[in-house]
Amino acid sequence: EVQLVESGGGLVQPGRSLRLSCAASGFTFDGSAMHWVRQPPGKGLEWVSGLTWNSVGVGYAASVRGRFTISRDNAKNSLYLQMDSLRPDDTALYYCARGGRYPGSGNQYYFDFWGQGTLVTVSS
């Protein structure tokens, strides 16, 4: 059974940092692209960042580029999101999601499994 368990969320002041973690199990983690998707309270979904299985391909949404850093440790089956210079509009539930790929596609991903999410609240 695929399991993704996020941690590291909490209440943080604007301008401060937070590091999210996602522990994966039940699938071949080092063969899978992984992503972070967020959802502000009462609002829709926004892709934040993604990373290929070997960390060669990395992408960020324009809203977080330069402030957030995605990384992974395949030996630990873990995905991370370092969030710096946090702003109130970063307040959201942050989901870790596995990138699903259609055979023969490039770095084009839908999200086939999701964690339960970890809540980040940025407020003074």
Partner 1 sequence: DIQMTQSPFTLSASVGDRVTITCRASQSINNWLAWYQQKPGKVPNLLIYQASILHTGVPSRFSGSGSGTEFTLTISSLQPEDSATYYCQQYNSYPETFGQGTKVEIK
With respect to partner 1, which residue has the nearer C-beta, 31 or 102? 102
Nearer to partner 1 among residue 8 and residue 100 (C-beta)? 100
Nearest distance in Å: CB 18, partner 1: 21
In the complex, least distance from residue 118 CB atom to partner 1, rounded to whole angstroms: 12
Identify which of residues 10 and 110 has a Cβ nearer to partner 1 in the complex: 110
Q: How far is the CB of 13 from partner 1 (least distance, A)?
A: 27
Taking alpha carbons only, the member of 23, 25, 27 closest to residue 6 is: 23
In one-letter notation, the amino acid at residue 107 is: N
Q: Closest distance between partner 1 and the C-beta of residue 88, in Å?
A: 21
What is the rounded distance in angstroms from the CA atom of residue 29 to the CA atom of residue 65? Answer: 25
Q: Give residue for tokens 């023969």.
A: 104
By beta-carbon proximity to partner 1, the closer residue of 83 and 117 is: 117
What region does 117 belong to: left with phi over 0, alpha with psi -120 to 50, or beta?
A: left
| Phi, psi (degrees; rounded to nearest 5) at 73 | -130, 100
Residue ranges in contact with partner 1 by CB under 8 A: 37, 44-47, 50, 59-62, 95, 100, 102, 105, 107-117
From CA 26, how far away is CA 96, in angstroms rounded?
A: 15
